[in-house]
């Protein structure tokens, strides 16, 4: 009698052997995480839900080593959402420093105001309430619910998506934007136990950050290398559009950063002439400044003056 073929991940288990599709991956990845996880301040119990939320905003498109000093300064100054909510939004932009993508600072400030007004100053544990906060999307709501409150939610950041793409789907890189198929797969791979699911979310993310990296992946250190569909297929090359790294030098992003640096360092409104000195090309400079105003990061005043937002 021929033995039944093992179903692929995400498929339906044979009735003779019922087990979750991701079960073969859970234990090795979580055990690896228990041994190799980085000691990061937002993973410590004292960080609380607010510390987790702050870290999730800061870590979007920004590496850990750049986030750490700003995170610690931020939590020292604003240990609770209400502390940040009591400040002008421009102070959040100022404290954001050079983390990049400063609209995240405004969104985090907006979330803090809503937490103070709607939830008595405590970050809500309910996933739907988290998702209803301004500036909180699908990923951040799931991450806070999982990492801060130990709940069972699929947490799909770039690192997790890459691990699943390789280990389960057998391709080198996930699509540029999260797809419905990826969400279904992430849900199928979730452990049933709530605490284990939360640990799995953190562990699979760390695996992507430290081992299953975008380039120079360390398969010899991977706890699921023997099960990885991409490795077993001979590591076929990416077949989609070329993946290009983001450029910075000479872009509007660089100009915006220089303009904001002047405003962050100033103790009052800044004249147009001070901003004009930071970039030689007037059309690009004006476009960058207009964009900052439109995004609510800069407030224009009468007389050609500018400042970080007060209201």
Structure tokens at 219: 């398969």
Task: Give the full edge-to-edge strand order of the sheet including 299-301.
Answer: 270-271, 305-307, 299-301
d(CA 229, CA 295): 43
Q: Is 61 exposed, middle or buried (0-12, 13-18, 19+ CB in 10 A)?
A: exposed
Strands 305-307, 270-271: pairing is: antiparallel
- Residue 56 bears catalytic tag: yes
Q: Residue 273, Cβ neighbours under 10 Å: how many?
A: 8
Rounded CA-CA distance 224/208 in Å is 12
The catalytic residue among 56, 91, 182, 206 is 56
Phi, psi (deg, nearest 5) at residue 137? -105, -170
What is the helix (H) or strand (E) element at residue 289, kind and residue range?
helix 282-294
Which residues partner with 300 through β-bridges? Answer: 306
Q: How many residues does the chain have?
A: 311
- How is residue 305 written in tokens? 């003056």
Structure tokens at 7: 């179903």
Q: Do residues 1 and 169 make contact, with C-beta atoms less than 8 angstroms apart?
A: no
Interatomic CA distance for residues 279 and 246, integer angstroms: 21
Residue 266: both structure tokens together:
């100033």
Q: How far is CA 111 from CA 97, 115, 149, 243, in A?
A: 19, 6, 18, 33
Which positions are catalytic? 56
């Amino acid at each position: 009698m021929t033995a039944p073929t093992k179903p692929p991940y995400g498929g339906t288990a044979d009735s003779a052997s019922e087990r979750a599709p991701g079960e073969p991956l859970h234990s090795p990845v979580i055990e690896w995480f228990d041994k190799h996880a980085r000691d990061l301040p937002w993973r410590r119990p004292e960080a609380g839900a607010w510390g987790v939320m702050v870290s999730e905003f800061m870590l979007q498109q920004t590496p850990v080593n750049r986030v750490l000093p700003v995170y610690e300064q931020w939590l020292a100054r604003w240990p609770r959402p209400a502390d940040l909510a009591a400040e002008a939004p421009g102070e959040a932009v100022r404290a954001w420093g050079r983390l990049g993508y400063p609209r995240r600072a405004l969104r985090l400030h907006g979330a803090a105001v809503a937490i103070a007004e709607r939830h008595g100053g405590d970050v809500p544990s309910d996933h739907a309430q988290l998702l209803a906060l301004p500036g909180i999307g699908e990923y951040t709501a799931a991450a806070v619910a999982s990492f801060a409150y130990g709940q069972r939610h699929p947490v799909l950041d770039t690192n997790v998506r890459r691990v699943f793409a390789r280990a389960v789907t057998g391709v080198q890189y996930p699509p540029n934007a999260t797809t419905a198929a990826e969400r279904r797969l992430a849900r199928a791979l979730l452990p049933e136990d709530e605490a284990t699911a939360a640990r799995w979310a953190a562990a699979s993310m760390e695996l992507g950050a430290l081992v299953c990296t975008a380039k120079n992946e360390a398969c010899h250190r991977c706890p699921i290398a023997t099960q990885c569909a991409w490795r077993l297929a001979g590591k076929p090359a990416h077949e989609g559009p070329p993946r290009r790294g983001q450029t910075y030098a000479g872009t509007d992003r660089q100009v915006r950063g220089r303009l904001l640096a002047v405003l962050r360092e100033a103790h009052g409104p800044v004249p147009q002439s001070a901003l004009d000195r930071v970039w030689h090309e007037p059309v690009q400079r004006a476009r960058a400044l207009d964009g900052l105003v439109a995004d609510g990061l800069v407030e224009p005043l009468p007389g050609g003056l500018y400042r970080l937002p007060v209201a």
